[in-house]
Chains A and B, each alone.
Chain A
Amino acid sequence: MYICRLHIDGFGMFHNQGVQSLPNGIILFLGDNESGKTTLMEFIRMVLFGFHRRGSRNNYPPLGGGNHRGRIQVVMKNGQLCTIERGFGHVAIVDEGGDPERVEPSERLLGGINRQTFERIFAIGLRDMQGLDVLSQENVRGRLIAAGAGLGAASVPVKMQDIDNELRNLLTQRGKQASINQIVNRLTEIEIQVKKLHGQASEYAEYQREREQLEARIKQCKTEEESIRQRLMRIEQLTKAREHWVQLCSARDKIVTLVFAKDFPPNGLERFESLRKEIENIEKNKEGHEDKAKPLSKQRSELSIDQSLLLEQEGAIDKVISEKGKLESSLEDLPEVRSSMAWAEEEFQRRLKELGTAWYPERLAQLDTSVQVRQQVREFGDKLSAAMRNHESAQAYLRIAKDAEVEAKRRAGEAKRRLDNLPLPLITDEQKLQLKKQTLRMISSLLHKRDVLNSQLDANGKAKKELQVRLKSVQKQMEALVQPLPSWAPIVMLIAGLGLSAFLATQHSYVSASITLLGSVILAVLFHMLRRRQVKAESTRLAQLQEDRHQIEQTQQLLDHEFGQLKEQVESITKEIERLVREAEIKQLDDIMQLEQLNNKLEGASKQLQEWRTQEREKKESEDNWFYARMKLEEAEQDIERKSKEHQQLQDDWKNWLIERGLSDTVSPEGFEAVLQAVESARTAHKNLNEFRSRVNRMEEYIAGVRQRIITVLDNCGRKPLKTEVGVEDLDALFRDIEVARETKRQQEELKERLELVQKEIERLSKWLDEKKAEVRMLMNDAGVTSEEDFRRQGEYYHEWCKYDKQMQNAEMVLLNIAGTPKAKAALETELNDIETIQLQTEREKHQADLERVTNEVSKYEREVGRLNQILSQMSQDERLSTLLLEQRTLQERLSDGIKHWASLVVCRHLLGQAQSIYEREQQPRVIQEANRFINIITNKRYRIISPVGEAIVQLEDAEMRRKNEIEWSTGLAEQVYLSIRLGLASEFGRQTEPLPIILDDVLVNFDPTRQLGVAKAIMEFGREQQVLLFSCHPEIKQIILEAHEHTDFPEVIVACYTLSDGVISYHSSSN
């Protein structure tokens, strides 16, 4: 893409400025400081990428006048001509012969790049030549450097460094920190420990053998201990038994002397004494009971009863007394119940009065208050309410309809007034208007096309002029051919030499004559050779110039032909425009401005027509609305009349219903429930009154009956009532008297019972006494004695016999217990008989000493066995080996993974290294290739730029393949490299997307004259493919550029020069 034309309406200091026919080559804008160079650069950016935010200083408000807008015309890579127009808030792209499109140029024309990327790639200032920051910026590295290597964000050296680090972390030749080293070391340790633990089984068996030996010795000791213990136990037995054995012997001797008393009755003496005591007690008891019986008989005879009549009537008396409570409460309640009855009478009368004079108890009962009736009333009520609501809503609707009709009428009037006030549009035919607009668009497109053709004509004209200049220059060069040395010069020189040498020979200077002759010959040969070379060079140059002239003439012919064609096209377009103008009945258009004015007029007419049509439509709509509103009002009036009638009919039906039931027709359905409630209240009051009446009657009947029964009982008991009217007092007197009579009777009966009991006890004691005396006699008979003294003596002998017998039995029992069995007891007695106490003592002491010794030995051996058991138990439960083996396996697994990973990393690093050498040998990113094109020109092929793979850095390689890093470059060399890379970047970017113009801001000023020329040549090289807008405040730059232009092999690159001064852009000169 290149900019072929630009027009500034208003931007900063520029107003209504423009440049026509910019070539696709090098365009030099020269101007002093504050002449508008930066503003012009910013204008181009603004049109391409839009304004900055509103209010930003960089928006360059139109200080010199005009609207804040402008347009740029560009020719795309494919030759398409587009105009980009931008003002504050709007942008449009107009294709040649097409309609304006409101899209951003960055999307449509600039390959999607934004302002930031444009400024980074296509705008180069002095600041950009300070380093290679651009290579590390977003969008650049990814798209051009790394992308060229096929890498994303990866950096191969960094990755290789990462791999080296990772390898070092995994494994090192020495050191213990790396993870594999750690695992290997730990595995070695485990191996040693496992070997040690494998010897455990033999150790275990050794301990086991030792334990078995100790256990055998313990067994032996325990046998000895057991025999000692047994002997000691026997000695103990003998010692313990000796005393009892002595007692046994003594008892046996005594019992022989008392054998006569052994048949005495068992416990005879005790039984005898007990019977004697019992007889004495029974006799005493009997006497006591006889003393009690006498006073009881006396008391009984003293008691008598005088109220016998009362006891005879006991049943009747109890019955009337049982009525006492009820009688008492009835007498108390009667006055109160009577007063309640009077109150109920009054309540009933009041309820009747509330209902009205026509109401009486029978009528109350007649009125139907069933659920059905209530349902009917509710239905009446609902219908009446609904009818009422319907009526009310109809009234509301009527009001709304009236309001709507008034509003619609008002609006119709207003719409009519507005339409009447609106002037009739200039063009009332929409089709005609559209036709005119279409024609204008076509004319606009044709005008644009004609402008392009004109610019091509201009370019053609300039090219022709340039060719003429070149032709003239060629002709001048041909004319200015260098004349070779004359052909006679060597001959003259030779003759002169001969003459001089002849002369010298005549003077006898033969040596000098010879030298002169030789010199003249040599000079003649040299002159001859020089002349031949001159002739050859000049003829070659002449042929070249003739060839150039021929080419220029051919190009001129081509340009003439192209000029003629362009001219024809311009004329045909002009004719087409004239035809369209005629058809559209518009005045002749000379330029775009007139076209735009006419377009504006048509836009105005279109808007006017639309407004008039809108008003007309609104008037019609409002009249229609008014008509509908009137219709609705009439409907509402009819509706309200119908609903009033329905409501009246329902009210009549309700009144008839009430009259049929003898009720007042003034009652409403809502009030009917109140009437029913009043009737139910009156019915309740009447029911209460009846209940009170029957209660009073019942109470009075009861009181009279009870009184009569009291009088009868009093008569039967021979008594008179205490007062004239029998009452509760009479019942109380009867109750007191009958209680006294009953108590006396109870006392008599109790005395009788006690007396009978005492007499029975006396009889029983007499019988018992006789029995005991018989028992005493029988006991004495059994003992074979006749007197009580004999009996007692015989009893004492018997007791003594018993004592010795028991002593003997006890001793035998103890000896049996000690010995265990009768046989052992016999043996024990025999041994006791044979051994003395002193002997036993001596033997015991000896055995006790032996026992202590053996026990100590056993205890010692058992402790040892315990220790061995503990060791064996620990060994049997020792998990160390299994723990170590599990750790070993886990570590081996990790080691296996680790070494595989290590090996993968080693192989990966090797492959990366291989790929790196291949890549650096065979492939380089396109940017670097492009940059090399420029550095070759600038440094005259002294250096080559190398980009190490995947790196956002560059190195320089000289002819001897030595590489220099950025840090090693001189300042001048660095600036040349930076500029080359920037140009390479822009070139490559342009190749990938759209080749946009590059803006160079005074990039030549820091270089010395030689380098300036080199750089200018590089710019020239760049200008072959992309437009260069070179801004500078140094006038000499123009000369450098032109000089470079002259020295390059591409004279087709057009160089145009403009000057800027106080917001005015002026064409200065052109290379052609």
Chain B
Amino acid sequence: MSSVSREFRFVHCADLHLDSPFEGIHAVEPAIATKLKEATFKAFDDVINLAIRNYADFLIIAGDVYDGADRSLRAQLRFRDALRHAVEQDIQCFVAHGNHDPLSGWEAELTMPEGVHRFSGEHVERIVVKRGAEELAHVYGISYPDRDVRDNIALKFRRETNTPFAIGVLHCNVGGDPSHDNYAPCMVEDLLRCRMDYWALGHIHTRKVLNKFNPCIVYPGNTQGRSVRELGERGCYLVRVGATGSITTEFIATDMVRWFSEEVNISDLNTIDDLLDALDKVCKDVRASAEGRASVLRLLLIGRGDLHAKLRHMDAERDLALPLREKETERTDFVWVESVQVATRPTIDIVQRRAVKDFIGDFLRSAESMRMQLNYGEVIRKLLSSRSEYRIIARQFDHLSDTDLLSILDQAETLGLDYLTEEE
């Protein structure tokens, strides 16, 4: 690694998924929907602004600018405009395309502004970044020509001689993270072998630093959380490369709307008022944690308690979620309770109750007997498909695993128990 005359900076982000919808939201009002629809754009605008503010020399986007399936013209235009803004401020931009936005899916008619480089899908390209006449870094990158890249394309990266600072840009799944599709699979060792100074990766939505030094391997995560699986702060990395080649990374949150999922245990609560107070407190805590941002909150009621019976007769959306959403649309730091999910259980000890020789015992034993069958999934599917209306939703059941079916059986057991033990 050779040295440069003074420090340079760049911003590394990935997985923008511009204009892709929020997932896992059960209910939303128009005012909130507008803000949610803008969130991915605003987050990317924030990335550009922080690059300008921090005098970054260039910007790297490591794939998945938007969702291929859901790409909109608006997303493409907003992306182009944001990049134009960055280029106008003398920030060079590098874009590698990933599985969600492969080159084959990109609208070629929309030309990118000068100063934006999109990596080729055929081979690893090397682009020299200059400040005046001085070479700052060489950026190596490759895009996905098509969605389905299952090869280890990390192996194609090779640092050339006389490179002052080498940056590899790649959209890949390092170490085969099971929570993401296994595109461009590779191992850390593959990346180490390429002798880069910094690996700007994309694809994994939760930020992590796989290697701190020599080289620094970073997943910045996505710039805006879009589902209940993407909780907490989201953003990008500002990377400072010292005159001697030392690397300092700083994570900066860019999410406009933050996701939270909180559990509330009902076992110590006696009345619905107690529950509403507890939920209200959770909302307040979430608002404080969001640090002035808007947030989307999923509330999950768990535990065993007397409240379970009362909750059975309530509409969680109408009686619990709606009161919590009151006046939230008027706030910029809204906490939008997307749903209150009831996963509470009755106080009855099911194992003991199952042993009792009465109707409830018979019912619980029937459920247990179904659960204990080796092919319980098949049994439940058969039972469901025996109903005439099943054909309408048959497609939905293709996605359900045996575990899902087991949870349906559990739910049915609780439901039946509630029916049979309810008081007048």
* Listed stretches A4-12, A910-918, A980-988; interface member: A910-918
Interface residue A900 (Cβ < 8 Å from any Cβ of B): yes
Residue of B nearest to A175 (CB): B389
Interface residue A421 (Cβ < 8 Å from any Cβ of B): no
Note all chain B residues with C-beta closer than 8 A to A902.
393
**Residue interface bits A198-227, CB-to-B below 8 A is 1, else 0:** 101110110011000000000000000000
Contact at A204–B73, with CB atoms within 8 Å?
yes
Note all chain A residues with C-beta closer than 8 A to B89.
none
Q: List CB contacts (< 8 Å) of A151-168 with chain B.
A: 151-154, 156, 159, 162-163
Q: List CB contacts (< 8 Å) of B5-59 with chain A.
A: 19-28, 33, 36-37
* Listed stretches A720-728, A744-752, A881-889; interface member: A881-889
Distance between Cα atoms of A770 and B380 in the complex (Å): 137
Contact at B411–A201, with CB atoms within 8 Å?
no
Partner of A878, one of B73, B419, B421: B73
Contact at A906–B74, with CB atoms within 8 Å?
no
Partner of B22, one of A159, A889, A897, A904: A889
Distance between Cα atoms of A204 and B108 in the complex (Å): 12
Distance between Cα atoms of A156 and B416 in the complex (Å): 10
Closest approach, in angstroms, between the C-beta of A498 and any C-beta of chain B?
A: 75
Distance between Cα atoms of A163 and B21 in the complex (Å): 35
Interface residue A797 (Cβ < 8 Å from any Cβ of B): no
Contact at B387–A906, with CB atoms within 8 Å?
yes
Residue of A nearest to B409 (CB): A907
Q: List CB contacts (< 8 Å) of B151-194 with chain A.
A: none
Distance between Cα atoms of A915 and B423 in the complex (Å): 20
Note all chain A residues with C-beta closer than 8 A to B420.
150-152, 154, 156, 159, 950
Contact at B370–A911, with CB atoms within 8 Å?
yes
Closest approach, in angstroms, between the C-beta of A953 and any C-beta of chain B?
A: 16
Partner of B362, one of A171, A890, A918: A918
Contact at A915–B19, with CB atoms within 8 Å?
no
Note all chain B residues with C-beta closer than 8 A to A885.
19-21, 70
Q: Point out which of B367, B396, B405 has the most chain A C-beta atoms below 10 A from its C-beta.
A: B396
Distance between Cα atoms of A918 and B357 in the complex (Å): 11
Distance between Cα atoms of A910 and B26 in the complex (Å): 29
Residue of B nearest to A949 (CB): B359
Note all chain A residues with C-beta closer than 8 A to B73.
200-201, 204, 875-876, 878, 881
Contact at B74–A878, with CB atoms within 8 Å?
yes
Q: List CB contacts (< 8 Å) of B375-412 with chain A.
A: 380, 383-384, 387-389, 391-393, 396-397, 404-405, 407-409, 411-412
Closest approach, in angstroms, between the C-beta of A837 and any C-beta of chain B?
A: 54
Contact at A906–B28, with CB atoms within 8 Å?
no
Interface residue B366 (Cβ < 8 Å from any Cβ of A): yes
Residue of A nearest to B368 (CB): A911
Residue of B nearest to A183 (CB): B393
Contact at A905–B415, with CB atoms within 8 Å?
yes
Contact at A905–B412, with CB atoms within 8 Å?
yes
Interface residue A426 (Cβ < 8 Å from any Cβ of B): no
Contact at B356–A184, with CB atoms within 8 Å?
no
Note all chain A residues with C-beta closer than 8 A to B367.
911
Interface residue A960 (Cβ < 8 Å from any Cβ of B): no
**Residue interface bits A896-933, CB-to-B below 8 A is 1, else 0:** 11011111111110111011101100110000000000
Closest approach, in angstroms, between the C-beta of A139 and any C-beta of chain B?
A: 13
Closest approach, in angstroms, between the C-beta of B82 and any C-beta of chain A?
A: 13
Contact at B107–A911, with CB atoms within 8 Å?
no
Interface residue A180 (Cβ < 8 Å from any Cβ of B): yes
Distance between Cα atoms of A521 and B397 in the complex (Å): 89
Interface residue B363 (Cβ < 8 Å from any Cβ of A): yes
Note all chain A residues with C-beta closer than 8 A to B359.
149-151, 156, 915-916, 919, 923, 949-950
Closest approach, in angstroms, between the C-beta of B232 and any C-beta of chain A?
A: 20
Residue of A nearest to B34 (CB): A879
Closest approach, in angstroms, between the C-beta of B23 and any C-beta of chain A?
A: 5
Distance between Cα atoms of A913 and B36 in the complex (Å): 46
Distance between Cα atoms of A920 and B362 in the complex (Å): 11
Interface residue A349 (Cβ < 8 Å from any Cβ of B): no
Closest approach, in angstroms, between the C-beta of A678 and any C-beta of chain B?
A: 78
Interface size class of B (residues with CB under 8 A): 35 or more
Supposing A882-B72, A896-B396 touch, asked if A172 and B389 sit within 8 A by C-beta, the answer is: yes
Q: Point out which of A153, A875, A881, A907 has the most chain B C-beta atoms below 10 A from its C-beta.
A: A907
Interface residue B413 (Cβ < 8 Å from any Cβ of A): yes
Partner of B358, one of A149, A153, A162, A895: A149
Distance between Cα atoms of A911 and B421 in the complex (Å): 15
Distance between Cα atoms of A923 and B359 in the complex (Å): 8
Distance between Cα atoms of A886 and B226 in the complex (Å): 11
Distance between Cα atoms of A901 and B312 in the complex (Å): 13
**Residue interface bits B319-347, CB-to-A below 8 A is 1, else 0:** 00000000000000000000000000000
Closest approach, in angstroms, between the C-beta of A448 and any C-beta of chain B?
A: 44
Contact at A184–B392, with CB atoms within 8 Å?
yes
Interface residue B424 (Cβ < 8 Å from any Cβ of A): yes
Distance between Cα atoms of A200 and B110 in the complex (Å): 12
Residue of B nearest to A881 (CB): B72
Residue of B nearest to A888 (CB): B21
Distance between Cα atoms of A359 and B159 in the complex (Å): 128
Interface residue B76 (Cβ < 8 Å from any Cβ of A): yes
Supposing A208-B109, A881-B72, A911-B412 touch, asked if A171 and B389 sit within 8 A by C-beta, the answer is: yes
Q: Point out which of A150, A876, A923 has the most chain B C-beta atoms below 10 A from its C-beta.
A: A150
Distance between Cα atoms of A149 and B384 in the complex (Å): 28
Distance between Cα atoms of A915 and B356 in the complex (Å): 13
Interface residue B243 (Cβ < 8 Å from any Cβ of A): no
Residue of B nearest to A197 (CB): B72
Distance between Cα atoms of A204 and B109 in the complex (Å): 9
Supposing A201-B107, A886-B22, A903-B408 touch, asked if A181 and B392 sit within 8 A by C-beta, the answer is: yes
Partner of B19, one of A148, A171, A172, A881: A881
Closest approach, in angstroms, between the C-beta of A912 and any C-beta of chain B?
A: 6
Note all chain A residues with C-beta closer than 8 A to B74.
876-879, 881-882
Contact at A883–B33, with CB atoms within 8 Å?
yes
Residue of A nearest to B358 (CB): A150
Closest approach, in angstroms, between the C-beta of B18 and any C-beta of chain A?
A: 10
Interface residue B303 (Cβ < 8 Å from any Cβ of A): no
Note all chain B residues with C-beta closer than 8 A to A197.
72
Supposing A154-B422, A895-B396, A899-B393 touch, asked if A886 and B36 sit within 8 A by C-beta, the answer is: yes
Interface residue B113 (Cβ < 8 Å from any Cβ of A): no
Supposing A149-B359, A154-B422, A912-B363 touch, asked if A906 and B383 sit within 8 A by C-beta, the answer is: yes
Distance between Cα atoms of A187 and B107 in the complex (Å): 27
Contact at A899–B109, with CB atoms within 8 Å?
no
Distance between Cα atoms of A412 and B422 in the complex (Å): 74
Distance between Cα atoms of A156 and B419 in the complex (Å): 8
Q: Point out which of B28, B404, B419 has the most chain A C-beta atoms below 10 A from its C-beta.
A: B419
Distance between Cα atoms of A879 and B362 in the complex (Å): 55
Interface residue A270 (Cβ < 8 Å from any Cβ of B): no
Distance between Cα atoms of A906 and B37 in the complex (Å): 37
Residue of A nearest to B67 (CB): A885
- Can you give 25 contacting A-B residue pairs, CB < 8 Å? A148-B358, A150-B361, A150-B420, A152-B422, A152-B424, A154-B419, A173-B389, A180-B392, A197-B72, A202-B109, A205-B107, A208-B109, A881-B19, A881-B70, A881-B72, A881-B73, A889-B25, A890-B25, A890-B27, A895-B396, A906-B387, A908-B413, A908-B415, A911-B367, A915-B363
Besides A889-B24, A895-B393, A901-B411, 7 other A-B contacts (C-beta < 8 A): A173-B389, A173-B391, A900-B411, A904-B408, A908-B412, A911-B363, A911-B370
Closest 10 CB pairs of A and B: A150-B358, A205-B109, A907-B412, A153-B424, A915-B363, A908-B412, A915-B362, A885-B21, A904-B411, A881-B72
Q: B residues touching A (Cβ–Cβ < 8 Å)?
A: 19-28, 33, 36-37, 70-77, 107, 109-110, 356-363, 365-367, 370, 380, 383-384, 387-389, 391-393, 396-397, 404-405, 407-409, 411-413, 415-416, 419-424
